Structure 1
Amino acid sequence: MQPLKIGILGFGRFAESAILPAMQQTKLVKLVAIQKRNISIARAKAGQYGIPYAYDSEEELVRNPDVEAVFIASSNNQHLPQTRIAARHGKHVLCEKPMALSVPEAREMIRVCRENEVKLMIAHMLRYSKSVREARQIYSSGALGDVRLAHSDFCIDAKESPRAWIADPAVAGGGPVMDVGVHALDTIRCILGRKIEEVQAFLEPPLTQDQIEWDAQIGLRFSGGLFATIQTSFRLFYEAMIVLHGTQGTLQLRNYSQNKGTAILSWIYPDQTEKRWLVENGNFYKAELEAFAQAVLRNEEPEIPGEEGLENQIVLDRAYGKI
């Protein structure tokens, strides 16, 4: 099987530090082009890593016949326009989270990819974390009994982020809810596999055209009457944790979001005894890229299609009071 030839739109620090190394470690993907607004830096990076093509224009990159698909690693406000231009040039799309700035944008991304018969996958890489998959298997097995409550949090200190636009509502679309809260949301959805029926949210301060929220708590009612909370912040140290409360025990998952890191799972039994064990997360960026490449090369539906990103976007928009 020949590798899928990919171009990266928005070759910034994230693409260079996380996506590029993953591409170098798989035989299913070949990076052939990068795009960055500063053409001098783009050419220098291409030369440094042996990438054949460098551009400062999305249009030029997607016109290249050697490019079969794109990885969109640009700022959030570029996801729709870059998906649109890629799809119209027949390029398959792997788009970073959050999928879009709004539900209408997400639906347009799905429509334009379907209309142009290209694949659309959303890069929720934590679904490929081996510890997340183990937690999902435990939940699905019924070993926790009747799970009634769940919790998922994801916090970072935004002051340490290299992304200059992270606090610009026009570019980011929101604060931690859009940035890392969507990870907490998608991961708990992946584990539970249930439909979200109701959303309530508290934001501090409220999202406006001029300011993002910095802290948030979102309450979710899943089908079957299961309640979950999501907490996310731009003002705390880095932490990601998931907790499932069942009648036969409580499962806690920590450090699942560290690529090639070690997660800690803890099972607290009804008698308050506890079992702890470690799980290697694996290289989930590599696994994500390989899943996308296989979907394209085999002409199959991606594991995380645009419709899954849309489900998350609906929750985000409800949290922000947009719908």
Structure 2
Amino acid sequence: MKKIKVGMISFAHAGHPDSYLSFLINHPNVEIIGLAHHDKERLQKHLDAYALPYYANYEELLQTDCDAVIICSEYVNHAKIVMEAAEAKKHILCEKPLGLSIPEMRAMIKTCKENNVQLMTAFPSRFSKPIQEVKKMIDRGGLGEVLAIKGTNRGVNPGSWFIDPLKSGGGALMDHTVHVMDLMFWLTNSEVKDVYTEASTKFNDIDVEDAGIVHVTFNNGTIGVIDTSWSLHESFPRSFDLTLQITGTKGSIFVDVLGQSNELYSKETKKATWEFWGDNIDQYLVNAFVHAIVHNEQVPITGEDGFNSTAVALATYESLRMKEPVDYNSFIQSKL
């Protein structure tokens, strides 16, 4: 079986790059060509454990013969790195959100197409077994017409560059809207008609919003509501959640993406925790990306998918500014 050479650019995003690397290392169709990050100390444990090449500048990594790169930088750097990687003829898996503006995301997608490379957006929740079963149920009409979807993606305040709007593009709205919106787009198979948002800073002394309620209306009539916030306290059994309550004309169903867990009471943690025991969706994400590149197939979650969900997140800020609903397509056109 063909092997592809993969490089990793930036470990700025908390947790995910380490998780992706752990699965890439053991993948039979992958050779890790190197890790790039400005802070070598951040990577030292990986460099020691796996004897991997280190690059202080990602531009040097792009000059190698790697076939693909995984980008987990600060959000503000996504567009620049993606386009440089595309021009270097590397396939790309990019963390969410895809970019921080409509024009730069369109440019990212255009550059990848012009250079004949694939651009995949990192939405691992699509690979959740419960979510996939619900998708099958909806597609075969098991819930009838989907009338409404209520989603939550709540977390703790991540701190660091995530609360610096110059690097993150915003607060909880930018950070957490996109995961649920991607699932809503996927489950409804419909475009968004309008977006309305209420948000403020309620739980932390920071310069960005940490609480928000997003309302979306889809062209097919489905209503979506998302609690997108950093409202969880440190005592909560895990650092974030992702749930969907889906109501249809034939019934309703509640889905907890992280619901496969055991309750653990430990003297070390000093609190109860929910220890996940289910399949690792990060592994499925990485496997899907590698499979598509190895077999020259379309990646399952495209740059367009990343654009759609991020455009909704951007529209939430426009709604806040205007204090009224925003027409989704008109908003996009106004930014081009």
Taking the TM superposition and a 5 Å limit, the aligned residue runs for 1:215-234 are 215-234=211-230
Distance 1:257 1:75, change over 3 A: farther
1:23 paired with 2:19, answer no
Taking the TM superposition and a 5 Å limit, the aligned residue runs for 1:280-319 are 281-319=278-316
* SS of equivalent to 2:163: coil
- Give the corresponding residue for 2:88: 89
* Distance (whole Å) between structure 1 residues aligned to residue 42 and residue 201 of structure 2: 37
One-letter identity of the residue aligned with 2:281: F
Shift of 1:86: 1.0
Q: Could you give the per-residue CA deviations for residues 210-248 of structure 1, whole angstroms, max 9, x where no partner exists?
A: 932111111111122111111111122533210011222
One-letter identity of the residue aligned with 2:4: L
- Give the corresponding residue for 2:150: 151
Shift of 1:55: 0.7
Shift of 1:146: 2.5
Shift of 1:316: 1.3
Contact kept? 2:17, 2:72, Cα under 8 Å: no
* SS of equivalent to 1:235: coil
Q: Where do 5+ consecutive residues of structure 2 fail to align?
A: 234-239, 263-275, 320-330, 332-336
Distance 1:175 1:257, change over 3 A: farther
TM-score by length of 2: 0.82
Contact kept? 1:5, 1:69, Cα under 8 Å: yes
Distance 1:321 1:125, change over 3 A: same
TM-score by length of 1: 0.85
Contact kept? 1:99, 1:313, Cα under 8 Å: yes
- Give the corresponding residue for 1:120: 119
Contact kept? 2:192, 2:217, Cα under 8 Å: yes
Shift of 1:40: 5.2
**Which aligned runs of 4 or more in structure 1 are off by greater than 4 angstroms?**
none
Matched residues, percent identical? 27
Q: Where do 5+ consecutive residues of structure 1 fail to align?
A: 264-278
Contact kept? 2:174, 2:314, Cα under 8 Å: no
Distance 1:150 1:46, change over 3 A: closer
Contact kept? 1:37, 1:56, Cα under 8 Å: yes
Shift of 1:41: 4.9
* Distance (whole Å) between structure 2 residues aligned to residue 40 and residue 14 of structure 1: 16
Contact kept? 2:146, 2:188, Cα under 8 Å: no
* SS of equivalent to 1:32: strand
Taking the TM superposition and a 5 Å limit, the aligned residue runs for 1:158-307 are 158=157, 161=158, 164-205=160-201, 211-237=207-233, 238-254=240-256, 256-257=257-258, 261-262=260-261, 281-307=278-304
1:106 paired with 2:105, answer yes
One-letter identity of the residue aligned with 1:215: A
Contact kept? 1:31, 1:51, Cα under 8 Å: no
1:56 paired with 2:52, answer no
Shift of 1:193: 1.9
Shift of 1:112: 1.2
Distance 1:54 1:312, change over 3 A: same
One-letter identity of the residue aligned with 2:314: D
- Give the corresponding residue for 2:272: none
Matched pairs, number: 297
Contact kept? 1:97, 1:124, Cα under 8 Å: yes
Greater shift in the superposed pair: 51-60 or 293-302? 293-302
Shift of 1:300: 2.1
* SS of equivalent to 1:84: helix
Q: Could you give the per-residue CA deviations for residues 91-141 of structure 1, whole angstroms, max 9, x where no partner exists?
A: 111000011111111111101111211111111111111111011112222
| Higher fraction of strand | 1
Distance 1:5 1:257, change over 3 A: farther
Distance 1:47 1:314, change over 3 A: closer
Shift of 1:35: 0.8
* SS of equivalent to 1:224: coil
One-letter identity of the residue aligned with 1:117: N
* SS of equivalent to 2:318: coil
* Distance (whole Å) between structure 2 residues aligned to residue 184 and residue 25 of structure 1: 30
One-letter identity of the residue aligned with 2:284: A
* Distance (whole Å) between structure 1 residues aligned to residue 119 and residue 222 of structure 2: 30
* Distance (whole Å) between structure 2 residues aligned to residue 46 and residue 17 of structure 1: 9
Contact kept? 1:46, 1:53, Cα under 8 Å: no
Contact kept? 2:71, 2:93, Cα under 8 Å: yes
